[in-house]
Copies of this chain bind each other. A is one copy, B any other.
Amino acid sequence: MTTMQQIMLAKRPIGTPTKENFRFVETTIPEPKDGEVLIQTLYVSVDPYMRGRMEDVKSYVEPFKLNEVLTGGIVGKITRSKGDHLSEGDYVIGNLAWQEYSIAKESQVRKIDANLAPISSYLGVLGMPGLTAYFGMTEIGDPKENETVVVSGAAGAVGMIAGQIAKLKGAKVVGIAGSDEKIDYLKNKAGFDMAINYKTTDNIHQALKDACPDGVDVYFDNVGGTVSEAVYPLLNTFARIPQCGAISSYNKTGDDIGPRIHTYLIKSRVRIQGFIVGDYADQFQEGARELGKWLQEGKLTYEETINDGFENIPDSFLGLFAGNNIGKQLIRVGEE
């Protein structure tokens, strides 16, 4: 095999992305030069933040370029090495192109240990989503024993870890998610004290009020929108909101409007802190060590939704906005 598939951004989405925004291109598998390695793509990560990069607007990461190959978190295996440190057969993780094989300088990827944890987990609980949950919850949320923590998007890759970390800190944890399967997972596998299906609950605010009789001290927010607006009136004095995402707004066209929240913030002296995982880059070692320890001790569980086949990457990405995934959404492209 000398050719491979890659996926380009064909068109910037307006509103909800569709398959038309992506274009598959066949190209020749490249050859590594000195200091480079050839990596076979095994797992591709799709993440909600990528929606933002598809627009041509200034943000914390560069926009994807039109008619260029998309990139994201990828775990792969080295199939040829012209490097000094990495050898054929090594598993690596990096921000690589959406294609079946990639060339990278050794410094662009990081070797991962398949004996310590499944290689896919380096894209989830031990990777960007896990660290996002870790720093958002510990550095901003900072829940104290017996405080009440609400997590939205609770069955997502970040939310399920964020909630479990709050449990480990002794808090009472209530999750909000969008299917009964997710609710079941949160309550019966991830150890959440309570979980609410916002899609089937008549009155999400009342359901939260019932679930949080002592109010809400930390609101780890992945979704924004009306779900968050059901939480704000329940915030206790000095509540903290790690603002991790706002997926409800990512595909909105035109105005995304809702009740102004200033008076809640003042009345309860709430702190909202927007953040991204990169803000804590100098603490990644610490975060990864802590998450790894909890995993090994059996104190932390996680879930992955794995679709098979390179051709299913766009659909898997689109599925994030339909809430199709429980836990980390991955696409398996090659066999380990």
Residues of A within 8 A of B (CB): 52, 59-60, 221, 224-225, 228, 237, 243-246, 249-250, 255-276, 279
Q: Determine which of B258, B260, B266 lies in contact with A245 in the assembled complex, contact meaning CB atoms within 8 Å.
A: B266
Return the chain B residue nearest A61 by Cβ. B267
Known interface pairs A243-B262, A257-B258, A260-B249; A267-B224 also in contact (CB < 8 Å): no
The CA-CA distance from A273 to B267 in the complex, in Å, is 11
Q: Determine which of B60, B221, B269, B279 lies in contact with A267 in the assembled complex, contact meaning CB atoms within 8 Å.
A: B60
B-side contacts of A267, CB under 8 Å: 52, 59-60, 274
User: In the complex, are the beta carbons of B276 and A260 less than 8 A apart?
Assistant: no
- Min distance, Cβ A269 to any Cβ of chain B, angstroms: 5
- Min distance, Cβ A67 to any Cβ of chain B, angstroms: 25
B-side contacts of A272, CB under 8 Å: 265, 270-272
The CA-CA distance from A261 to B221 in the complex, in Å, is 13
16 contacts between A and B (CB under 8 A): A52-B267, A60-B267, A224-B262, A225-B262, A246-B260, A249-B260, A256-B259, A257-B257, A257-B260, A265-B274, A266-B274, A269-B273, A269-B274, A269-B279, A271-B271, A272-B272
B-side contacts of A225, CB under 8 Å: 260, 262
B-side contacts of A261, CB under 8 Å: 261
Return the chain B residue nearest A246 by Cβ. B262
- Min distance, Cβ A136 to any Cβ of chain B, angstroms: 11
User: In the complex, are the beta carbons of B276 and A269 less than 8 A apart?
Assistant: yes
List 8 additional A-B contacts (Cβ < 8 Å) besides A60-B269, A270-B274. Answer: A221-B262, A228-B262, A256-B259, A258-B258, A269-B276, A270-B272, A271-B271, A272-B272
B-side contacts of A268, CB under 8 Å: 60, 274
- Min distance, Cβ A217 to any Cβ of chain B, angstroms: 15
User: In the complex, are the beta carbons of B269 and A275 less than 8 A apart?
Assistant: yes
Return the chain B residue nearest A256 by Cβ. B260
B-side contacts of A263, CB under 8 Å: 224, 246, 249-250
The CA-CA distance from A268 to B61 in the complex, in Å, is 11
User: In the complex, are the beta carbons of B265 and A243 less than 8 A apart?
Assistant: yes
The CA-CA distance from A14 to B60 in the complex, in Å, is 43
Return the chain B residue nearest A243 by Cβ. B265
The CA-CA distance from A273 to B250 in the complex, in Å, is 25
Return the chain B residue nearest A235 by Cβ. B274
- Min distance, Cβ A272 to any Cβ of chain B, angstroms: 5
* Of A221, A228, A266, most B-chain CB atoms within 10 Å: A266
- Min distance, Cβ A259 to any Cβ of chain B, angstroms: 6
B-side contacts of A275, CB under 8 Å: 266, 269
- Min distance, Cβ A280 to any Cβ of chain B, angstroms: 11
